[in-house]
């Protein structure tokens, strides 16, 4: 099944030359490793820092999309430093990450802000990738635990408030438990069975809130410490529509190995 593979570069790399270089080398490695078919059969999206997006769009690799790591909650006006949905749209961007836990934590983003961003994105026909996930797990807590489900469902309730039925097809959810993100202390990739349960729960939320038919169109990704090896653990997981990958996507050889392993999942 075609997967959506989203590379979240975060605040990387340090210079435009390094960003150019990464894309140029990636282009070469894709052809060297004969990955063109894999790239064509799946959906590959790279989210660089805003400032590099335009030049990377110009250097576009066939079938590799450049997206955005964030968007302003304001559509227009005097908001220094902000980038609007309309601006992203005008650049040819389709995929926009919203509500990443690092933005919630470091920039105090609330579900209400994220909701406004999502509504604005949908208005401009962009595809928001909404990150949801709990902070920590107590010992023995699973994806089916009431506390965990409550956190995820309230993020979905608040972040997707007012989303219209016809826009559901443009929504992507990334289940990214914060404890699994590679840069957090003692992080580890989530267990496949647990991710499966959470994805079923998230799909169930969409079925209840919208309809079974509409829910089937929502893509649900997993994110948190994915690398070239553990991505293969997920190969039996038919319910999984893809991955949101941070650190491993910024290392060329690791990233190429991930794309290579996509053939097997």
123 is catalytic: no
- Among the listed residues 67, 128, 224, 242, the single contact to ligand PGA using CB under 6 A: 224
Decide: is 128 part of the binding site for ligand PGA (CB under 6 A).
no
Q: What is the DSSP string of 131-169?
A: EE--S---TT--TTSHHHHHHHHHHHHHHTTT--GGGGG
Decide: is 246 part of the binding site for ligand PGA (CB under 6 A).
yes
Which of 65, 102, 109, 176 is catalytic? The answer is 176
Name the residue nearer to ligand PGA (CB basis): 63 or 184.
184
- Among the listed residues 42, 84, 111, 225, the single contact to ligand PGA using CB under 6 A: 225
How far apart, in whole angstroms, are the C-alpha atoms of residue 76 and residue 261? 42
Q: What is the dihedral of CA 163, 171, 201, 186, to 10 degrees?
A: -120
- Among the listed residues 3, 7, 8, 114, the single contact to ligand PGA using CB under 6 A: 8
Name the residue nearer to ligand PGA (CB basis): 2 or 105.
105
Residue nearest to ligand PGA (CB): 246
Which span (80-88, 196-204, 212-220, 224-232) binds ligand PGA, by CB under 6 A?
A: 224-232
Decide: is 244 part of the binding site for ligand PGA (CB under 6 A).
yes
In whole angstroms, the minimum distance from the beta carbon of 85 to ligand PGA comes to 21
In whole angstroms, the minimum distance from the beta carbon of 73 to ligand PGA comes to 20
Decide: is 226 part of the binding site for ligand PGA (CB under 6 A).
yes
* Backbone phi and psi for residue 255, each to the nearest 5 degrees, phi listed first: -65, -40
- Among the listed residues 75, 182, 251, 261, the single contact to ligand PGA using CB under 6 A: 182
176 is catalytic: yes
Name the residue nearer to ligand PGA (CB basis): 171 or 226.
226
How far apart, in whole angstroms, are the C-alpha atoms of residue 131 and residue 28? 31
Name the residue nearer to ligand PGA (CB basis): 165 or 191.
191
In whole angstroms, the minimum distance from the beta carbon of 131 to ligand PGA comes to 7
Q: Would you name the residues annotated as active-site residues?
A: 100, 176
Which positions touch ligand PGA (CB under 6 A)? 8, 176, 181-183, 223-226, 244-248
């Amino acid at each position: 099944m075609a997967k959506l593979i989203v590379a979240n570069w975060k605040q990387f790399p340090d210079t435009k030359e390094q960003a150019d270089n990464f894309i140029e080398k990636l282009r070469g490695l894709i052809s060297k490793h004969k990955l063109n078919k894999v790239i064509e059969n799946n959906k590959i999206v790279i989210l660089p820092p805003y400032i590099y997006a335009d030049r990377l769009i110009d250097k576009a690799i066939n079938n590799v999309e450049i997206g955005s790591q964030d968007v302003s909650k304001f559509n227009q006006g005097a908001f220094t430093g902000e980038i609007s949905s309309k601006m992203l749209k005008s650049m040819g961007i389709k995929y926009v990450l919203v509500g990443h836990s690092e933005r919630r934590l470091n920039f105090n983003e609330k579900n209400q802000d994220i909701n406004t961003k999502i509504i604005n994105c949908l208005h401009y026909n962009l595809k928001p990738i909404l990150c949801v996930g709990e902070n920590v797990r107590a010992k023995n807590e699973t994806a089916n635990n009431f506390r965990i489900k409550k956190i995820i469902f309230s993020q979905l309730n608040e972040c997707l408030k007012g989303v219209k039925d016809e826009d559901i097809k443009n929504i992507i959810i990334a289940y990214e438990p914060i404890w699994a993100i590679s840069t957090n202390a003692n992080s580890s990739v989530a267990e496949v069975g647990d991710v499966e349960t959470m994805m079923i729960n998230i799909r169930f939320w969409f079925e209840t809130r919208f309809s079974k038919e509409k829910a089937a169109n929502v893509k649900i990704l997993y994110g948190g410490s994915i690398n070239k090896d553990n991505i293969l653990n997920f190969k039996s997981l038919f319910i999984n529509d893809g991955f949101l990958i941070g650190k491993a996507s910024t290392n060329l050889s690791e990233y190429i190995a991930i794309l290579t392993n996509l053939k097997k999942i």
